Every structure is written in C-alpha cells, then in structure tokens.
Amino acid sequence: MNASDTAVSLYLMDWHGHLLSHDPMRDIFSVAPFSPGKLPDLTIRAPKDFSLPTEIHFAKHISMPKLFPTCIMNDAGEGYVSLFFPHTQRYLTSLPAPEQQEQAPIRAMAVHGWEKFIPFTPTALRGLSLLMLPELCSITSEDGNIVSALTINNRSNIGFIDNKNIKISENIHVFEKIGILKTGESKKISFKNLNEELKMDFFITIK
C-alpha cells in the first residue's frame, strides 16, 4: 500500500500568521512568513481520517539524518491544534519572529496562544492563497461590487476582507471549497465573521 493511502499532509499556521517550517542549517523547527502559493520546508503527516488526539510525523523537505521526535497533535479548540512531545512532556511554542533566535522551541508546559496552530490541508492552503491573489481570483459581493483580495492582519492569523475581520481557524472549510475550484469556475461562499452571528457571502471566480 502506498504511504499516500494511509496518511494526509498538513501545514500549520501559528498564532502570528507564519507557517511552521524547518531550518536545515541548524536542523530545528522554524517558522516562515506566509506567502500565497509558497509552501514551508516542513510537512506534517497524519493518519488518514484521523481524529484528535493523534500521533503525527514530520517530513523535512530537505532530507536530514535525524528525525524530529514523536509528537501528539491535540485539539486546542476553535479550529486550533497543539503539538505535545511525550519525550519532554512539553508543547511546541511559536515565538514572534524574527526577534527570537530559536523561533519554535519545545518548551511550553501549557497551551496558550503561542502554542496554538491552524492545520491546513494542501487544498485549504491553496484556497487561502487564491483569495490573496487578485490576478488569479476575483471576489464580488452579493450586490455585484468588486471586493479587494483577502489579507492577513500583521502579526496575527486573523483575515481581513471587505472591511471586516474573519477568523482563519474557523473558516478552513471555506478555503477547502475554494481550493478545489478550477480555472473558470465560480462558487458562492460564506465566511464566518469574528462576530459569530454574522455570515459574509461572496462570489468567487478563478481566472
């Protein structure tokens, strides 16, 4: 059986809007600024159809002889997960970059903001990227007005579209729907606003 039949690939966005990555020079966890369409140097491999908690493995895009240690991915609420390392009984924490020399150490004893990550499938990450690239994706409101591309607020994982903020973590299912669209296809989508009682409807067209 092919490994791709038994595992799914994930990428993790941290509290600051960066993606968990790998520093091949020091062979440690690092973070990379999110850039639409660009992948980090680290992929998380989780069991197919997994539920949380689950054991995950890390695939470094630049092969190194030493593996990252076994990790348990836990539910951290509101679409977030945390990464717990049994060998140290500590959580991975993602520090604000670039101020810190070691950006993602395994040292936290409890889960707070910096220990929370948003899991993306490749499809969901493509969907988020498309929304941020106006040359590839057009966004219109229900009344037909052109809407500017989605942005991510500085040093956060909160999105901004049509003068309103959205939680990236609670709209992953929307990014998944956009990520499967092909050139020329359109779809009506609904974002959950930061005010959970409100929905924001848009029409998305892939150019």
Chain Cα centroid distance, residue 120: 4
Taking the C-alpha atoms of residue 125 and residue 148, their distance in angstroms, rounded to an integer, is 19
Contacts 24+ apart (CB under 8 A), 49-57: 50/8, 52/81, 53/84, 56/10, 56/83
Tens-place pLDDT, residues 96-118: 865 567 789 999 999 999 999 99
Quote the percentage of the chain above a pLDDT of 70.
95
Question: What is residue 24's predicted lDDT score, i.e. its pLDDT?
Answer: 93
Question: What is residue 64's predicted lDDT score, i.e. its pLDDT?
Answer: 85
Question: What is residue 5's predicted lDDT score, i.e. its pLDDT?
Answer: 63
Q: C-alpha distances in angstroms, 169 versus 76, 119, 129?
A: 11, 8, 15
| Polymer length of the chain | 207
Tens-place pLDDT, residues 153-189: 988 999 999 999 999 999 999 999 999 999 999 999 9
With a threshold of 0.75, does the pTM exceed it? Answer: yes
- 167, containing H or E segment: strand 164-167
Contact of 192 with 201, CB cutoff 8 Å:
no
- The mean pLDDT value of the chain amounts to 93
Q: Domains of the chain by range and CATH? A: 3-120 (2.80.10.50), 122-206 (no CATH)
Question: What is residue 1's predicted lDDT score, i.e. its pLDDT?
Answer: 36
Tens-place pLDDT, residues 59-97: 999 988 899 998 999 999 999 999 999 999 999 999 986
